[in-house]
A and B are shown apart, each in its own frame.
Chain A
Amino acid sequence: MRARLIIVGFGNIGMAVASTLSAKKRQLKNAGYDISVVAVCEAVGCLVDTKGLDLKVLTGAKPRWSKKLGTLDTIRDTEADIVVELTPGNVQTGEPGLSHIMAAIGSGKHVVTSNKSPLVVDYNGIMDAAKDVGVQVRYEATVGGAIPVLSTIERETKANTVKNIYGILNGTTNFILTKMDEEAVDFASALAEAQELGYAETDPTYDIKGYDSASKVAILLNTVRGQGASIRDMKIEGINRISPDVMELARDYGYAIRLVGDMDAKEVGPRLVPLDHPLNVGGSLNAILIESDLAQDITLIGHGAGPEPTASAIIADIASVMDRMD
């Protein structure tokens, strides 16, 4: 099966997707997925080649963007099957990803995205538009990075009723809390180390105040309950008030402190997690617990962020879209 991609957003994740598609071309082809990239767009311009761009050249050198080609026109006018939307998003407006996704759907293209914002701002609008046109929208990478959370819910637990989903949905805060716990350092020092190692952004507000986890809770709610939830519907508490005293006191009573997002409670906040609880994972790992009636508790643990784990989830989504393409 063949598919032609347009990659929108060529930062670390876009580069990782392109280089993985290049490095794993044979493996994917042997599995039945013949994937080419016919266009790549960035804020400064696009590159288009309907025969397929050379991914080795694309990832090996600084691309020479054609400034004449706008992203929305390229999405609409290029002959392609799937638009892979990977831009950073504005959680208030969903832009620019929302416009990219709607342009893709409007021109009959499937969508795979790692961008949370459009799904938090207008989930129902996107899904209704996709249904009308008959295209697929997949977004596994938005929740739990490489961890197959959404596909587990969608495919592996069909006969189950999901009772709730909760867990550690942000690797940056988990890294900071683990550091504070294990090395008895204060929040500022743990954050500085997370920034040095590239786990935290220069402006870490979105992660440490819990907004990133809340976006993921909203996406879970929208997916599982179809609620059209946004982060405005959430009760959010970050980790910035956690001190070494808090960590020590919790540990004395057999608990770790972890930032937990809870789908049905619509909450994100620090929680006491018993040391032997499956959600007590360290470092930048994510852990998600799905409570269901038949399978009961399923805990998924893995890398929630980073270019390669995210690329893994994106390429799995591309393959899933191809499995169902006419």
Chain B
Amino acid sequence: MHIALRDVPGMLVRALEPISSKGGNILSVVHSRGKGSVVGVHIIFRVKDEKTLGKIIAALKKGKYEVEDVQVEGKKYFSKKTISFLIVGHVIDKDIQDTIDRINELGLVRDVDVRMRDPEEESAVLMRVNVDSKKKGKLMERITQICENKRFMLIREVS
């Protein structure tokens, strides 16, 4: 995790406190003083699960610390949301792989459940997609657009 701190005595200790108190095991802290009044701190710590990491990030943000970058096992971490929706139409015939690929450009399709009683009739497909909270709006726009183009009925979750 990378945090930007003001160059004030005691600030580093105060910033590390939520990490250990919320269950993080700190492995290393690299502290690099630049020219300005902001100090970059690179912290490596171990957590038992994603929930603990979420608690640490929330505590840091609450303390007004600027959390600039979080990586988990070398990959960028983002706060995920799972959205569920159902589409009705000739979903298989109209290239379901293309539908999934276009959704995957903005999120990650983790479940696809298809009900098709008769190939002549419309099928029902429920999808669950993981997405960065910040990209949720854009993803819903993309899904709406796909459904309009392929003449699917989109059934979203109630707001």
Contacts and interface: CB of A to CB of B under 8 A. Distances in A.
B153 interface: yes
B86 A262 contact: no
A245 B159 contact: no
A162 interface: no
Contacts of B158: 166, 258, 260, 271-274, 277, 279
Interface string A241-267: 111011011101101011010100100
Given A246-B88, A249-B115, A269 B155 contact: yes
Contacts of A265: 159
A243 B155 contact: no
Contacts of A272: 84-86, 155-158
A258 B124 CA distance: 16
Contacts of B156: 271-272
Given A258-B158, A272-B85, A243 B124 contact: yes
Contact count band on B? 20 to 34
Nearest to A235: B144
Q: Which of A166, A262, A270, A277 has the most CB of B within 10 A?
A: A270
Nearest to A272: B157
Interface in A223-251: 237, 241-243, 245-246, 248-250
Contacts of A241: 88, 122, 153
19 contacts: A166-B158, A241-B122, A245-B117, A245-B123, A245-B124, A246-B88, A248-B115, A249-B125, A250-B86, A252-B126, A253-B84, A255-B84, A255-B157, A262-B159, A269-B154, A273-B158, A274-B157, A277-B158, A279-B158
